[in-house]
Structure 1
Amino acid sequence: MKAVRKIFGASLALALIACAWAEDYDLILANGRVVDGTGKPAFVGDVALKDGRIAKMGTVIGTAKERIDVKGAVIAPGFIDVHTHADDVWEKPRAENFLRMGVTSIVVGNCGGSEPDIAKFFHDVETRGVSPNVATFIGHNTIREKAMKGIFDRVPSKEEMADMKAQVDAAMKAGAIGFSTGLIYLPGAYSKTDELVELTKVITPYDGIYASHMRSESGKIFAAIDELLVIAREAKVRAELSHIKLSGEPSWGQSAKVIAMLDQARASGVRVTQDQYTYTASSTSIRSLIPDEAFDGGREKFLSILNDPVAKAKLVEKMKAYVKTRGRVDYAYAVIASFRGDVSLNGMNIVEAAQKLYGSDSLENQVEVILEIEKRGGAQGVFHGMQEEDLQSFMKHSSTMFASDSGIRDFGQGVPHPRGYGNNARVLARYVRELKVITLEDAVRKMTSLPARSFGFEKRGELAVGNWADIAVFDPEKVSDPASYKEPHHYAKGFPFVVVNGLVVVREGEHTGASPGVALKGAGVAR
């Protein structure tokens, strides 16, 4: 018995010694300017992390495996980008353009396009390892194309509608956070409002979100917003207006009217927020310049039109007329961002490309460039068409969050929109520090707690004890977005450290290769 007591006593002594040597925390970020994400004023202090979560804030006394003196830099929650097209994140897991501007969580499946099998998508994310946290919508265009098999300018049959509803339900059970539409793209452009209401009702029991790239962001924007609000009301869900903007000069100057319409809806009980990228140019496929009817029937239909002189001539006339209805004289506002068929055209606008290819920049030749690009596989474009005053007006609104509308960038390839490298940095550099459009604390709130609460990401978006340790450390005096339209391939500057779930993913401004990201799933069970 004495021997047993001696052994037990020795073991206890060793355990106490081990505890005395063990660090209190995994990581301490010391001497920072803490901006907690709520909008409250910053305070000077430390943030300590343990087991992937925030363990203590304020003045932290104790030992840690690592202590980083951030020397007065801002310690903020990691930014949440609620509108990305990084659906290939499991193939490009570093997502470096996002992490290096402080983004620790991304939402994919936007504008109606998503992975069709959400369960498989999350399995790939979880097993292959990714750097940021990832959530996804189920996309309307994705499920409609699968159900309706090529001919889209019609109402879906009862069987097709049942198929689409089943796809949405399966996606929600697998963890999708909601249902997204892209109503300027095929096949969603041909859908009617009642179809969208019925499909959105599928997500209601899951407390899902309806996110929409609306039918118009220019001349018919108020009708488009009304449709968004009708869907939210009838399905009894929260709505997200994707990348709010007023595109095309005839629409400029109406931001106050747009905001008033949304505020009136909020006052009546509709739950609706909006996101925004902080540039006056948009980006999508060059195909968007071609009328939808040219593709009703798939790519074969489009190619058949090009091979029919009469049909092609009618299409060309429509496109020449279209540019004039936008209040423009040519397609100079459209820049070729990424065309694999002829990389020498990347960075040129359509007028310049017409001059290069055909020796004339006539409107007829500009249309020919657009059709030839699509014939040879298509290309991404950057489209200049918004007003700075409207952008700032939307930015000031309390329900606006910032989102890049970007995919994962292949560094050095093409001439893509700079928002994929600089969106969050641009907010902090241009609109907080230089122009003082919004305060630092409110900018951080719009990138952290506002999206976290709106999208249901629990224990994220705010620096608080017990929350997950997603953190962006940045120098508010040095943060910048060197990416430009002409030279977009520059990472954001001024973010020395970024932490995801307690692990350092960016150290001294460089990606560490760590992959601590997790799947951010919706409820998955009908409530």
Structure 2
Amino acid sequence: MKKRIAALVGLVGLSLHGAAMANDTGKWDYLITNARIVDGTGAPWFRGAVAVDEGKIVWIGASKPDETRAEKVIDAKDRVLSPGFMDFMGQSTLVYLTNPASAQSRLTQGITVHLSGEGGSPAPQNDQTQPEPVMIAGKPYRWRTYAEYFKIMDDLGVPVNVVHNVGAAQVRRVVMGVEDRTPTPQEMEKMKTLVDQAMRDGASGLSTALIYPPGNYQTTGELIELAKMVKPYGGFYSTHMRNESNKLLDSIDESIAIGQGAGIPVQIYHLKAAGVRNWPLMQKAVDRIAAARVAGIDVTADIYPYIRNGIGLGSFVPPQSYAHGPQAFYKTLSDPKVRAALRKTVETDTSWENWYDHVGQDWNNVQITDDALGADLVGLSIAQAAKKRGKDEWTFVFDTIAAGGVGVAPLSMNEEQKHIGLRAPFMMINTDTSPASPDVDGLAVHPRAYGTMPRVLAKYVREEKVIPLEEAIRRMTSASANRLGLYDRGRIGVGYAADLLLFDPNTVQDHATFENPAQYSTGMDYVWVNGVLAIDNGKMTGARAGKVIRFSKPAS
């Protein structure tokens, strides 16, 4: 009966005006009363009550109904009730299985939908990209396709809803390895077949990371051909662009050209203007995207609320250094002549994404975020760490890269460009990190793994008033849902999936810092995932109520 009633309520929608259906003899799972409802559309908040049953929102009213109609009544006490947040690029989802405790880093931010993207992806795989089975809960698992990977996630359960792009670099690794060369016609066909397979299995689109090998070896033409395989399924192209600094505008043009060449929408990941001399480009970048939209081109972007990005120290040398693979490159660093030549290139050549130039050629502006070199160096600059280890800066840098590198956070952006980005109506929000937990990851994470969404609400809405609450929530809910094609989520409306948050906008807060990133955000008092409480009055429930959301929409 409850399923039938929920379906009926979804059909009649809000025409009920808050009235209970006369033939409903069952009880709702939850009734949330006295809430300030921010519905995700950007509309002004309003006071009301919401009922949830069997994973769906089944009733909305301006005044609460008989409380005996629900199994559990939660008095919002004038807190905000909003749709669950969508992380537009949250990196790995495998972490939810290998380290279940990592879910807390997402749920305490209010994240209920996680898009996994960029150049790599969990599938496809082969014996070279996945030489050993992955251990999950003490058992070995292997997969080659998204169908197999999704089956594992279905069987084991996930704490949030997960969406997956197929990575263009991952496809290239499977077919060609990591070498810098042009694919043969046969290799190109194999890569296109793998993208098509991923889309048939339920991927949402094609994603790239064109700053990192082997993604940076992929030409515009190659990417257009791969992106064409996404079109029949209604997918989109998303990208960490080829350049986010002095060639930012050119990279936006390339991204748009790929989308237009394939006939699909475009999403630009973590839009930024990196490097002090490039900061004025942020407004031009936003204007470029806005002009494209006025011209009828479907392009959008996302941003994260930090002025330090997160990359590996190995990205401070030219990407061409890795043309024969990272291990081959590391071996060459034992030669002082190679080091000297690299240093000269890094100090003088800005034709590539030169992060050393972006930080003003000052190692004091590059902060260590990884405890791979020892916990005592986390939070220190490269200059400080080199001094502590008794080395000159360049020796420390090359020694570290040769040993496999370390995570760093370059001071590459400024607050003004964050304000510019957040005010753009087509901008969404992402964490650009995998889920994390203090016991497994320690200090080896960027603070955005723990603090992104609450930081937007605390810093840019409450404190600095860059955008209003309703608009911030729209970016993290319905705007992201529209791009993802999740038209049954991202809003508070009858018939929508019950991914919901209850929080006090005056107290919600991020706590993660670069010096101590492993600190959970606070203030998400209640979090529902598909109508199941994942956080109940501030306490984690351990529920795995998420779903693997599949997008298989072949042309008719």
Question: Quick check: TM above 0.5?
Answer: yes
- Alpha-carbon distance in structure 2 between the residues aligned to 1:327 and 1:492: 29
- What is aligned with 2:110? 102
User: Structure 2 residue aligned with 1:67, among 58, 73, 94?
Assistant: 73
User: Structure 2 residue aligned with 1:76, among 82, 88, 91?
Assistant: 82
User: Structure 1 residue aligned with 2:525, among 496, 502, 513?
Assistant: 496
User: Structure 2 residue aligned with 1:348, among 380, 392, 415?
Assistant: 380
Instruction: Give the conservation status (yes or no) of the 8 Å contact 1:422–1:491.
Output: yes
Residues 495 and 323 of structure 1: is their aligned pair in 2 closer, same or farther, counting only changes over 3 Å? closer
User: Structure 1 residue aligned with 2:467, among 424, 438, 442?
Assistant: 438
- Alpha-carbon distance in structure 2 between the residues aligned to 1:92 and 1:456: 29
Instruction: Give the conservation status (yes or no) of the 8 Å contact 1:178–1:211.
Output: yes
- Alpha-carbon distance in structure 2 between the residues aligned to 1:128 and 1:373: 38
User: Structure 1 residue aligned with 2:291, among 238, 260, 264?
Assistant: 264
Instruction: Give the conservation status (yes or no) of the 8 Å contact 2:359–2:365.
Output: no
Residues 217 and 294 of structure 1: is their aligned pair in 2 closer, same or farther, counting only changes over 3 Å? same
Instruction: Give the conservation status (yes or no) of the 8 Å contact 1:431–1:437.
Output: yes
**SS of 2:306's equivalent?**
coil
Instruction: Give the conservation status (yes or no) of the 8 Å contact 2:50–2:57.
Output: yes
**SS of 2:506's equivalent?**
coil
Please tell me whether residue 36 in structure 1 is matched to residue 36 in structure 2.
Answer: no
Please tell me whether residue 127 in structure 1 is matched to residue 155 in structure 2.
Answer: yes
Residues 36 and 299 of structure 1: is their aligned pair in 2 closer, same or farther, counting only changes over 3 Å? same
The CA deviation string for residues 366-409 of structure 1, in whole angstroms up to 9 with x for no partner, is: 23222222322332221211011111011011100111112111
- What is aligned with 2:227? 200
Q: CA RMSD in A?
A: 1.9
- What is aligned with 1:507? 536
Residues 377 and 300 of structure 1: is their aligned pair in 2 closer, same or farther, counting only changes over 3 Å? closer
Query: Structure 2 unaligned runs (5+)?
Result: 1-21, 125-144, 349-353
- Alpha-carbon distance in structure 2 between the residues aligned to 1:327 and 1:373: 19
Map of 1:188-337 to 2, 5 A cutoff?
Answer: 188-321=215-348, 325-326=357-358, 328-337=360-369
- Alpha-carbon distance in structure 1 between the residues aligned to 2:398 and 2:516: 26
- Which of the pair has more CA radius of gyration? 1
- Alpha-carbon distance in structure 1 between the residues aligned to 2:113 and 2:223: 28
User: Structure 1 residue aligned with 2:456, among 427, 437, 446?
Assistant: 427
**SS of 2:112's equivalent?**
strand
- Alpha-carbon distance in structure 1 between the residues aligned to 2:234 and 2:509: 37
User: Structure 2 residue aligned with 1:175, among 202, 219, 222?
Assistant: 202
- Alpha-carbon distance in structure 2 between the residues aligned to 1:324 and 1:171: 37
- Alpha-carbon distance in structure 2 between the residues aligned to 1:467 and 1:284: 37
Shift of 1:428: 1.1
- What is aligned with 2:413? 386
- Alpha-carbon distance in structure 2 between the residues aligned to 1:150 and 1:442: 42
Instruction: Give the conservation status (yes or no) of the 8 Å contact 1:432–1:440.
Output: yes
Map of 1:361-510 to 2, 5 A cutoff?
Answer: 365-411=392-438, 413-510=442-539
- What is aligned with 1:362? none
Aligned-pair identity (%): 34
Instruction: Give the conservation status (yes or no) of the 8 Å contact 2:347–2:361.
Output: no
Give the TM-score normalised by structure 2: 0.87
- Alpha-carbon distance in structure 2 between the residues aligned to 1:324 and 1:22: 67
Instruction: Give the conservation status (yes or no) of the 8 Å contact 1:90–1:124.
Output: no
The CA deviation string for residues 157-202 of structure 1, in whole angstroms up to 9 with x for no partner, is: 1111111111101100010000000000000111111111111111
- What is aligned with 1:9? none
- What is aligned with 1:10? none
2:463 maps to a residue whose letter is: E
1:83 maps to a residue whose letter is: M
Shift of 1:305: 1.0
Please tell me whether residue 517 in structure 1 is matched to residue 546 in structure 2.
Answer: yes
The CA deviation string for residues 288-314 of structure 1, in whole angstroms up to 9 with x for no partner, is: 112212211113321331233333332
Shift of 1:415: 4.7
Shift of 1:254: 2.5
Shift of 1:120: 2.2
Which region of structure 1 is more displaced relative to structure 2, 168-177 or 277-286?
Answer: 277-286
Residues 270 and 511 of structure 1: is their aligned pair in 2 closer, same or farther, counting only changes over 3 Å? same
Give the TM-score normalised by structure 1: 0.92
- Alpha-carbon distance in structure 1 between the residues aligned to 2:541 and 2:360: 47
- What is aligned with 2:54? 51
The CA deviation string for residues 427-477 of structure 1, in whole angstroms up to 9 with x for no partner, is: 111111111111111111111000001110121000011111000111011
- Alpha-carbon distance in structure 2 between the residues aligned to 1:499 and 1:301: 48
- Alpha-carbon distance in structure 1 between the residues aligned to 2:238 and 2:194: 17
- Alpha-carbon distance in structure 1 between the residues aligned to 2:290 and 2:24: 57
Instruction: Give the conservation status (yes or no) of the 8 Å contact 2:358–2:412.
Output: no
- Alpha-carbon distance in structure 1 between the residues aligned to 2:553 and 2:164: 12
- What is aligned with 2:19? none
Residues 21 and 151 of structure 1: is their aligned pair in 2 closer, same or farther, counting only changes over 3 Å? closer
Instruction: Give the conservation status (yes or no) of the 8 Å contact 2:106–2:450.
Output: yes
Shift of 1:20: 11
- Alpha-carbon distance in structure 2 between the residues aligned to 1:21 and 1:51: 14
Please tell me whether residue 90 in structure 1 is matched to residue 117 in structure 2.
Answer: no
- Alpha-carbon distance in structure 1 between the residues aligned to 2:205 and 2:494: 29
1:162 maps to a residue whose letter is: E
- Alpha-carbon distance in structure 2 between the residues aligned to 1:437 and 1:119: 42
Shift of 1:329: 3.2
Instruction: Give the conservation status (yes or no) of the 8 Å contact 1:339–1:373.
Output: no
Shift of 1:110: 2.3
Instruction: Give the conservation status (yes or no) of the 8 Å contact 1:340–1:379.
Output: yes
Residues 65 and 22 of structure 1: is their aligned pair in 2 closer, same or farther, counting only changes over 3 Å? farther
